[in-house]
Amino acid sequence: MNTTNAPSTPRSGPSLSILGVPFDNVTTSQTLEAIAGMIATRKPHYIATANVDFTALALCDEELRRILLDAHLVVCDGMPLVWASRWLGNALPERVAGSDLVPKLLEVAEQKSWSVFFLGGQKEVAEMAVQKVREKHPSLRIAGVLSPPFKPLHEMDHAAICAQIRSTNPDLLFVSFGCPKQEKWIAMNYLRAAVPVTIGVGATIDFLAGHMKRAPRWMQMTGLEWLYRLLQEPRRLFKRYATDFVVFGYTIVKQWRLTSGGRRTSQPNVTSTPPESATVPAKAPAPPTSSVAEIRCPDRLDAAEVRAVEQHWMSTIEGPEEGVIIDCTAAQFIDSTGLGLLMRVQKRCRQSGKQLVLAAVSPAVVKLLQMTRLSTLFAQSPTPEEARNKIINAGLTISHSIPMAEPLHLDWSGAVTTSGADSLWRGALGVIQNAADSRNPVVIDLHGVQVMDSGGLGLMARIKDHATSRQISLRFTNASPVVHESLRHEHMEHLLAS
């Protein structure tokens, strides 16, 4: 889960949601500029190069959807997605293919003395790729190359892999495990690997090694590269491509129908001051223990309106409030760009540990959220007042139910998974903040946990790291057999250490 605020990314326009995947509106040169900014911070970030296969997989994989939401940058790796963006009213400027981006990054890395680490791929192929890269870029600093034995994600020795990567201190980490395994590995480990920029590159290692050939340029530009690859590996790719095109084609038409009817063709009047429809003051002041920022969604949140309100919305959620309400009472139409803005607001709230609640969502907007599989991403309430109470009560429960004269306790039970990570993270943040004020230790009891997935394990690591950074003593106790087994599989038993 994303805990690092990336430097401001140069963009050609507002972001766009295609089938629940948030695409940043960037060119290749802007992507390279953003990566340089990330490396300059020395903090860990991860980037996804999402193609049609990503979007089709994300429709049925909630963990992958949340990983893509949390990514510091998601670029469009596929001409069908560029075409879809045009149909959806917010044209992405170009395809930013991973197989094009990586060679350009290697050139820049050689110029700027960045070091790179290659992870994944077959051992012989990876070594050949590194050899060819060295021949082409003799001054490039290659920190290392590692091809772990092929194993399911839960059986990999993540700690050992990350330790080897950290020991070389690279600037760029290229992960080639295939989608969605590489994205899930990155989300679980990018903080622990501590590399400024981690990118899932898929088959790019094979291209670098010459093991596979890129399609002719004309096929790349006309969106036929998939056909060239299919002819190279028909047995492996036929079923995947057939499924992807059926799922993508059907669902993109559904999204277009839901988001095209009320779209404007002209720009609204944009002034230097925020539109009156952008925000509404709270009807009653919040108690000092919990304050809430409110944003009023206009009747049509389309691409034109997003350009007018985006900056004001983002500045509003940067305030000191503990939660954010988006009042959708008037909103009857939201297009794919408006959905992209909602996802960007949710991403920023998740980064800062704030709760976001959509209030009074219309049936039309609910239908769009359900179709793009995003309804579970946004908490909803029937009225703004109930949304406010939900946020305030969450804060009050955390701050008043914990005795302050002894270790602060938090009980987890049921499923600790990616889908519930938001609320657990917010609860832990509240307890850790109380501990910071009182200098008491924190204990999280795991005896009632019945389900634990990779997102839950990542949450445990994230909470532990956050408490350590605040110099708070935090320990997990009474781990259920399910938790013990999950930790053992991922070699993360150290999280139970005092």
Block residue for tokens 């919990």 = 290
Asked which of 9-13, 93-97, 126-130 is least confident by mean pLDDT, the reply is 9-13
CA–CA separation, 26 vs 14, rounded Å? 9
Reading the block at residue 368, the tokens are: 């769009």
Structure pTM?
0.74
Residue predicted with more confidence, 233 or 104: 104
- Over the range 383-408, which residues count as b (16 or more CB within 10 Å of their CB) and which as e? ebeebbebbbebbeebbeebeeeeeb
Fold of domain 292-396:
Transcription Regulator spoIIAA (3.30.750)
> Comparing C-alpha atoms, which of 195, 36, 8 is closest to residue 108?
36
Q: What is the mean pLDDT of the chain?
A: 85
Reading the block at residue 386, the tokens are: 């109930």
Residue 374, phi then psi, degrees to nearest 5: -110, 5
Asked if residue 28 lies in contact with residue 448, where contact means CB atoms within 8 angstroms, the answer is no
pLDDT digits (tens, 9 = 90+) for 441-490: 899 999 999 888 888 888 898 898 888 877 888 999 999 998 998 888 77
With a cut of 50, say whether residue 400 has pLDDT above it. Answer: no
Residue 266: predicted pLDDT: 47
Beta bridge partners of 176: 120
With a cut of 90, say whether residue 401 has pLDDT above it. Answer: no
- Read off the pLDDT of each residue in 325-347 and give the average, rounded to a whole number: 94
CATH of 402-496, one of 3.30.470.10, 3.40.50.300, 3.30.360.10, 3.30.750.24: 3.30.750.24
With a cut of 50, say whether residue 340 has pLDDT above it. Answer: yes
Asked if residue 344 lies in contact with residue 351, where contact means CB atoms within 8 angstroms, the answer is no
Asked if residue 283 lies in contact with residue 316, where contact means CB atoms within 8 angstroms, the answer is no
As annotated, the residues of the chain forming the CATH 3.30.750.24 domain(s) are 292-396, 402-496
Is residue 42 packed enough to be buried (19+ CB in 10 Å), middle (13-18) or exposed (0-12)?
A: exposed
High-pLDDT (> 90) share of the chain, %:
49
CA–CA separation, 65 vs 84, rounded Å? 19
- Per-residue pLDDT band for 244 (boundaries 50, 70, 90) equals confident
- Per-residue pLDDT band for 338 (boundaries 50, 70, 90) equals very high
> Comparing C-alpha atoms, which of 319, 337, 326 is closest to residue 361?
326
Amino acid at 356: L
CA–CA separation, 436 vs 401, rounded Å? 17
> Comparing C-alpha atoms, which of 488, 405, 404, 402 is closest to residue 445?
402
With a cut of 80, say whether residue 262 has pLDDT above it. Answer: no
Residue 3, phi then psi, degrees to nearest 5: -125, 0
Q: Compute how many other C-beta atoms are within 10 angstroms of the C-beta atom of residue 424.
A: 18
- Read off the pLDDT of each residue in 119-138 and give the average, rounded to a whole number: 92
With a cut of 90, say whether residue 148 has pLDDT above it. Answer: yes
Residue 267: predicted pLDDT: 52
